[in-house]
Amino acid sequence: MRLVQADLSVRDFTFGQIDALSNQFANVLREVGEGAGKIVAILLPKSLEVYPSILGTLKAGSTVLPLFANFGDLALVDRLADCGASCVVTRRSALPRLKRVRSALPALRVILVVDSDVDEGPEDGPDVLSLPARLGRASSSWESAPISADAPSVIHYTSGSTGKPKGVLHVHGAASYLEHTMREILQVQPDDLYWCTADHGWITGTSYGILGPWLLGITQLQFTGAFDPDHWFRILQDQQVSVWYTAPTALRMLARSDDVDYRSYDLAHLRSIFSVGEPLNPEVSRWGKETLDRDIYDTWFQTETGGIMIANRPGLAIRPGSMGKPVASIQAEIVDDAGQPCGARVTGHLCLRHPWSSMFREYLNRRDAYQARFTGQRYDSGDLAFQDEDGYFWFAARNDDVINTSGHLVSPFEVESAVLELAEVAESGAVGAPDPILFEKIVVFVALRKGVERSEELQLKIRLHVANRLSAAATPQDIVFIDAIPKNKSGKILRRVLRARYLGQDPGDLSTIEE
């Protein structure tokens, strides 16, 4: 592993070193009574400690719960209490948050602190322990026992883009699917340097940012710093990254950084760029081709699917804006409300034939919600999409995001993509709002590029552009200028928050908003 610090200094670690560190962590879990069958939460920013903690938890037969480091009190209670986590691995800076909510976490027994050489003081409790002190005396050997493919491995909570997060349980058997898609879709080679920018608090960050590449023995890069266009491109250039997996939100932010000359960087080693998290706008695809001289391959999967299901990839001609085609072993289909197959270019429910090895096995404590996602051999993704005559899939909307205006079903993603084509626009988010005549009217929230003034003339320009680009039915009835579009930590637009803001309602759970 190549660990690039925020100041761009570099530390390399061998597989042997990571193996030994994770063995020590597994032994620490055993020592403090948090071995097999327990749930261990990793509440850490990107740092060296993340990787042996996650791998060591899996070696110990425990289930790992990766969390975003900046989760607030409510977000922590929702997750830790819901799954019954008994151990949290964290930094001292998070102790005040955990102390405030400790009474709501009856299952929590042990807090392991990664940046303290001594156990914390009495005010923090006798079960707040120094991880370095215990690692220092733990054996670097571990005898891994065989484990069932159906044994729990990782819990991720859904992003909450359309409601309160749910605990999604995955199993050890998912490893075979991750390995397969690393080869078929990301097409990594033994000598690649692979960089996935996703945080481990997101399914991509564990599936394809930790486990997937290491299942194939691929060297991966991890960056501990914040988003910065110059730093990111210096990393791509100086470290000679060959396969880069990132998010459309990051790519849009890069594309709007007018003060960075991307053509000045040497990207000769960069073979492939992939994106995931939300649909890749056609305008961003064109930016990648024109500015970076690279195709950007969009991929689609969910917290629930555990791995890539539908994707663009090298060797498959890209149709900008499309999701691509299914992984070879996956059967995807579009069906109507009655469960009947839809014809070409008819929008319906995107469903997958199950089982596949990386699919989730339950929503924790929500059996009914889990069962509602399955009908016979079909898993309903909750997304609306269509398939064209050549087998490419095209995303339309989340099932609960689609806008019904005057009887026309309008995809908020298509509206957002059209608005993004305008040079003045940095970000956009489209939602439906109740209307006495139209049933729902289209409301577009727009964040402008630096230096662009808000005006009625610009509002008119946006309306005309969307009408000409899509249809009169897709014309926004209202345009709201906003400083920033709310997104969760995986980069998805939180349309329910925009809708609530417009209607003056309570937006509900805000724990996953990226600040």
Domain limit, last residue, from 136, 155, 190? 136
C-alpha to C-alpha distance for 119 and 112, rounded to whole angstroms: 9
Computed over every residue of the chain, the mean pLDDT equals 92
Interval 432-441 mean pLDDT = 84
Same domain for 436 and 342?
Answer: no
- Between these two residues, 279 and 205, which has the higher pLDDT value? 205
pLDDT at 232: 97
Per-residue confidence (pLDDT) for residue 442, from 0 to 100: 94
Q: Which of 5-14, 288-297, 496-505 is the least confident region?
A: 496-505
The lowest-confidence range among 82-86, 279-283, 490-494 is 490-494
176 with 324, same domain: the answer is yes
pLDDT at 515: 55
Residues 228, 309 share a domain: yes
At residue 261 the predicted structure's pLDDT band, cuts being 50, 70 and 90, is very high
**What confidence tier does 14 reach under pLDDT thresholds 50, 70, 90?**
very high
Q: Which two tokens stand for residue 61?
A: 């037969």
Which tokens is 369 given? Answer: 């919600």
Is the per-residue pLDDT at 41 higher than 50? yes
The tens digit of pLDDT for each residue in 210-225 reads 999 999 999 999 999 9
Q: Count CB atoms within 10 A of the CB of residue 241.
A: 22
Beta bridge partners of 441: 433
Higher pLDDT, 512 or 420: 420
Say if residue 355 is preceded by a cis peptide, omega within 30 of 0. Answer: yes
Are residue 267 and residue 414 in the same domain, yes or no? no
- Spatial distance between the Cα atoms of 43 and 39, rounded to a whole number of angstroms: 13
Residue 464 lies in a domain: yes
CA atoms of 435 and 439, how far apart (whole Å) = 5
Identity of the amino acid at 406: S
Comparing 201-210, 302-311, 396-405, the range with the smallest average pLDDT is 396-405
Domain end call among 379, 398, 417: 398
Q: At what angle do helices 456-469 and 412-420 cross, to 10 degrees?
A: 120
- Say if residue 196's pLDDT is above 70: yes
Q: Flag whether 91 is in a domain.
A: yes
CA distance linking residue 14 with residue 3, whole number of Å: 11
Query: What is the mean predicted confidence (pLDDT) over 39-56?
Result: 97
When pLDDT is averaged across residues 323-348 and rounded to a whole number, the result is 96
Q: Locate 259 and state its tokens.
A: 């003060």
Mean pLDDT score, 14-32? 97
Specify the pLDDT at position 440. Answer: 85
Question: Percentage of residues in the chain with pLDDT exceeding 90?
Answer: 77
Domain count, the chain: 3
Domain that holds residue 499: 407-503
Q: What is the pLDDT of residues 107-116, one digit of tens each?
A: 999 999 999 8
CB 490 within 8 A of CB 513: no
Domain-located, residue 6: no
Q: Is residue 37 in some structural domain?
A: yes
Does 187 share its domain with 336? yes
Q: State whether 495 and 384 are in the same domain.
A: no
Is there a single domain that holds both residue 121 and residue 257? no
**Residue 412 pLDDT > 80, yes or no?**
yes
Is a pLDDT exceeding 60 seen at residue 303? yes
* Of the listed ranges 8-17, 313-322, 410-419, the one predicted with least confidence: 410-419
pLDDT of 124 above 80:
no
- Residue where one domain finishes, among candidates 363, 398, 433: 398
Q: Which of 173, 122, 140, 106 is CA-nearest to residue 28?
A: 140
pLDDT band (50, 70, 90) for residue 451: very high
| Higher-confidence position of 508 and 23 | 23
The verdict on 359 and 270 lying in the same domain is: yes
d(CA 445, CA 443): 7
**Which of 157, 158, 159, 203 has its CA nearest to residue 177?**
203
SS3 category, 371 = helix
As a whole number of angstroms, the distance between CA 73 and CA 482 comes to 27
User: Measuring CA to CA, which residue among 199, 140, 177, 134 is closest to residue 20?
Assistant: 140
CATH number of the domain where residue 85 is located: 3.40.50.980
CATH number at residue 468: 3.30.300.30
Residue 88 host element (H or E): strand 87-90
Same domain, 230 and 321: yes
CA–CA distance, 514 with 68 (Å, rounded to integer) = 10
Contact 227, 253 (CB under 8 A): yes
Distance CA 71, CA 5 (A): 22
How far is residue 479's CA from residue 439's CA, in Å, rounded to a whole number? 18
Mean pLDDT, residues 190-208 taken together: 95
- Per-residue pLDDT, averaged over 26-33, amounts to 96
More confident residue, 281 or 175: 175
The confidence score (pLDDT) of residue 161 equals 43
The one-character DSSP state at 32 is T
C-beta of residue 388 within 8 angstroms of C-beta of residue 334: no
Both 51 and 171 in one domain: the answer is no
Nearest to 448 by CA among 459, 437, 439: 459
384 and 411 belong to one structural domain: no
Distance CA 513, CA 486 (A): 7
- What per-residue confidence (pLDDT) applies to 22? 98
pLDDT at residue 162, rounded to an integer: 44
The end-to-end CA distance of the chain, in Å, is 29
